[in-house]
Amino acid sequence: MNDIIIRKTGKAGHITLNRPAALNALTWDMCLAIEAAIDEWRSDSAIQLIIIDGAGDKAFCAGGDIAEMYASSQRQEYDYGQRFWRDEYRLNAKLARYPKPIVSFLHGFTMGGGVGVGCHASHRIVCDSSRIAMPECSIGLVPDVGGSLILANAPGRLGEYLGTTGARMGPADAIYAGFADCFIPEREWDTVKNDLINTGELTAIGAFDEHPGDGAIFANQVELNQHFSRSSMIEIGESLANSDFEFAKQALAALKRNAPLAMTVTLDIIRAVREQPDIRTALDHEFRYTYRCAEQGDFIEGIRAAIIDRDRNPRWRHQSWQEVPASEIAAMTAPLGDAALQWEDET
């Protein structure tokens, strides 16, 4: 079975992630195949728009395929992940700046690498089953694939909350936070896709767009802003600990599970990107961390606990965010010099 199905149909270029048994987890080869397709279609006058969807009923794309990153890092071959991320981030930037409409259909789980492929599209469609998140801090990583830009642009301090806790969003909250654009019941998706393919126009999206109601995160925006506007993870944790609201208790519990170093850096990245909200700025800041995370951070331990041993008991370098030294944050976020992303790079 091909991991990805790429074809031209009618007036659309159509990309389907096709690893349903693996929740359509994104491999390096899939990234390169998507990039090659959109590069070709950029100048193809027969292609008016692009459709990106996922096979199966459980996920658009639940993240990147990180098992090989673990294996290569065990061999101290850290350049594998660095090269993977370099190519993936170049794809993310191209999707965000693509000159033709891209319509993504985000059913089920859309997380991590799936956000990078689906949530930089110009028209992002969700349905009842959609669950979108950036849970990277739970494996010692930071929200990447350009996700820090979406988080930085989210209302109030929602970005800090979503990025550090990894909270999942249903369709209403995903639209509110800026990860999606419209809600269309999944039963109508085939009709919408057929119309896009046949006409090359976007009118069908507006015809079926419905209001999904208000989400749980939206309802807690005031409380959320109060805590996550604090200047550091230490102050955020103290603020949450002093609250009697159930939302605060749940947020604090989520923070206590995640990697302290990753959360602390995540806070810095989101706020830096908010000052200069551009996809390349976001990816540059993210890459500073991901380039170093296997050798110097908690990423390998996070993978071990989540998908190798599956004991869900990661032994982070620091037991709490109070213990993360400023010198380590600076080391993980410093510019990379000659190793930095170069946007003219080819595969």
Q: Could you report the per-residue pLDDT of 26-62, keeping only the tens digit for each?
A: 999 999 999 999 999 999 999 999 999 999 999 999 9
Which carries the bigger pLDDT value, residue 343 or residue 180? 180
SS3 57: coil
CA 69 to chain centre: 18
List, for residues 225-260, the tens digit of each pLDDT value.
999 999 999 999 999 999 999 999 999 999 999 999
User: What is the total count of domains within the chain?
Assistant: 1
Q: Using alpha carbons, select from 2, 13, 6 the residue that is nearest to residue 200.
A: 13
Q: What is the mean pLDDT of residues 301-320?
A: 93
- d(CA 255, CA 138) in angstroms, rounded, equals 9
- Residue where the block lists tokens 């990805």: 4
pLDDT at position 1: 56
What's the pLDDT at 58?
97
Q: Which domain holds residue 70?
A: 4-339
pLDDT at residue number 67: 82
The answer to the question of residue 273 being in a domain is yes
Q: Is residue 345 part of a domain?
A: no
Q: Given this model, what pLDDT does residue 73 score?
A: 84
Residue 344 lies inside a defined structural domain of this protein: no
Taking residue 127's Cβ as centre, other Cβ atoms within 10 Å add up to 20
Q: Which ranges of the chain would DSSP assign to H, the alpha helix? A: 28-42, 67-74, 79-96, 113-118, 147-153, 158-165, 171-177, 189-199, 203-208, 216-219, 221-228, 233-241, 246-257, 260-275, 279-296, 299-303, 326-333
| pLDDT of 74 over the 90 cut | no
| Rounded Cα–Cα distance for residues 285 and 167 (Å) | 22
CATH number at residue 74: 3.90.226.10
> Is 93 a domain residue?
yes
Reference 51, options 8, 90, 89; nearest CA is: 8
> With 60 as the cut, is the pLDDT of residue 345 above it?
no
CB 106 within 8 A of CB 119: yes
> Between the CA atoms of 300, 301, 306 and 310, what dihedral angle is there, to the nearest 10 degrees?
120
Residue 133 lies in a domain: yes
Q: Which percentage of the chain shows pLDDT scores above 70?
A: 99
User: What average pLDDT does the chain have?
Assistant: 95
pLDDT of residue 244: 93
Q: Assess if residue 174 is contained within a domain.
A: yes
Task: State residue 347's pLDDT score.
Answer: 45
Mean predicted confidence (pLDDT) in 206-212: 89
131-133 and 109-111 strand pairing? parallel
Burial track 309-328 (b if 16+ CB lie within 10 A, e otherwise): eeeeebebeeeebeebeeeb
Q: How confident is the model at residue 77 (pLDDT cuts 50, 70, 90)?
A: confident
Residue 179 pLDDT greater than 90, yes or no: yes
Residue 217 CA to its chain's centroid (Å): 18
Give pLDDT, residue 250. 96
What is the per-residue pLDDT across 108-166, written as a single tens digit (0 to 9) for each? 999 999 999 999 999 999 999 999 999 999 999 999 999 999 999 999 999 999 999 99
- pLDDT above 80: residue 6: yes
Q: Are 81 and 69 within 8 A, CB to CB?
A: yes
Does the residue 347 lie in any domain? Answer: no
Q: How far apart are CA 163 and CA 142, in angstroms?
A: 8
Query: Could you give the 3-state DSSP secondary structure of residue 231?
Result: coil
Provide the CA 167 distance to its chain's centre, in angstroms. Answer: 12
